[in-house]
């Protein structure tokens, strides 16, 4: 059939179950989990469908140089690494697969809260050097603390549910007015949330409205004992401001799974009161198998 000859270009790491299924169906596809820009421009020229996740960008330059591209599929939630305007100009349709990894990310977020508030990473690093500095690692419980959630989508809602099991008091800042009527959580202004939360979790997409959501002015509202968790995108929390807060010990600790420029060095690496991970919130076998299944379904639908 004609659609078997339409080239699928996969430019991000995906679960092997997807690759296996594409081979069995004898689809025409190319898989480059660690592609560079030069190779991407070359391969995208005759691609009919591009599949990607985070960590790689489909820029205006790449999209404009494509000759047969009809669809872009983001096997995940965000679209901030795709030049949507360039795609629209060439009448290329862009799709994503939201909410498939929300449970994995939510559980990971709670894990980061515990790890950051109890100095787990730093304690692990020191004991490997046979340093037993117990008095150095005083931390905080989650029990009866206030968790402020910025953005109550699927991830934020699941974090709230888990947090309540830890007997945390949950407040949230939500822009979507329709959601405000559905949530059984105290909804507050961003200013109130930053000022009164012990733990703060950022769970919003990166847009013009959310870029540098934590800024020079409102960061002064934070408690010196607060713990910040960023599960959204690197640009939501200004990294220079976060670095300053941590270095001067204006907050207790932070944890981030995202960076403004992923794959590059950050000055945050030198600080000890922050836990950093390479965007692995969704990296569970459970979530990735589900994403692979839904990606295959969408590929079948688009190609036919």
Contacts of 199 (CB under 8 A, 6+ apart): 113, 117, 142, 145, 146, 147, 148, 168, 226, 227, 229
- Cβ(34)–Cβ(256) below 8 Å: no
Q: Rounded to whole angstroms, how far apart are CA atoms 139 and 119?
A: 7
Q: Strands 274-276 and 227-230: what pairing? A: unpaired
Rounded Cα distance between 244 and 165, Å, is 33
Candidates 262, 264, 285, 304; catalytic one = 262
List CB contacts of 262: < 8 A, sequence separation 6 or more: 54, 55, 234, 278, 279
57, 79 in Cβ contact below 8 A?
A: no
Verify whether residue 126 is a known catalytic residue: no
**Token pair listed for 117:** 């508030």
Told to judge if 262 belongs to the known catalytic residues of this protein, a careful annotator would answer yes
Question: Catalytic: which of 43, 53, 233, 239?
Answer: 233
- How many Å is the Cα radius of gyration of the chain? 21
In whole angstroms, give the CA distance from residue 111 to residue 123: 16
Judge whether 37 counts as a catalytic residue.
Answer: no
User: For residues 258 and 256, what is the distance between their CA atoms, to the nearest angstrom?
Assistant: 5
Catalytic residue among 15, 53, 74, 279, which? 279
| CA 275/CA 121 separation, integer angstroms | 7
Cβ atoms of 51 and 9 within 8 Å: the answer is: yes
Catalytic residue numbers read: 233, 262, 279
């Amino acid at each position: 059939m004609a659609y078997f000859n339409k080239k699928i270009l996969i430019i991000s790491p995906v679960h092997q179950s997807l690759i296996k299924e594409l081979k069995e169906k004898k689809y025409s596809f190319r898989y480059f989990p660690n592609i560079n820009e030069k190779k991407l421009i070359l391969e995208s020229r005759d691609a009919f469908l591009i599949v990607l996740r985070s960590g790689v960008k489909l820029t205006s330059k790449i999209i404009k140089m494509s000759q047969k591209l009809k669809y872009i599929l983001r096997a995940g939630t965000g679209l901030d690494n795709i030049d949507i305007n360039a795609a629209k100009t060439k009448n290329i349709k862009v799709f994503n697969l939201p909410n498939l990894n929300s449970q994995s990310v939510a559980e990971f977020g709670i894990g980061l809260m515990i790890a950051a508030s109890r100095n787990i990473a730093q304690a692990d690093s020191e004991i490997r050097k046979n340093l037993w500095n117990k008095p150095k690692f005083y931390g905080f419980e989650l029990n009866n603390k206030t968790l402020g959630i910025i953005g109550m989508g699927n991830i934020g809602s699941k974090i709230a549910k888990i947090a309540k099991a830890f007997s945390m008091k949950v407040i949230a800042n939500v822009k979507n007015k329709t959601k405000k009527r559905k949530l059984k959580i105290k909804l507050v202004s961003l200013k109130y949330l930053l000022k009164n939360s012990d733990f703060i979790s950022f769970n919003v997409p990166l847009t013009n409205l959310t870029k540098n959501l934590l800024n020079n002015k409102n960061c002064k509202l934070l408690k010196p004992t607060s713990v910040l968790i960023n599960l959204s995108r690197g640009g939501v929390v200004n990294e220079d401001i976060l670095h300053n807060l941590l270095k001067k010990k204006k907050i207790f600790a932070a944890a981030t799974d995202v960076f403004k420029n992923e794959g590059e060095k950050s000055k945050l690496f030198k600080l000890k009161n922050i836990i950093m991970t390479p965007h692995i919130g969704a990296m569970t076998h459970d979530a990735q198998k589900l994403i692979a299944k839904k990606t295959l379904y969408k590929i079948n639908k688009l190609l036919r």
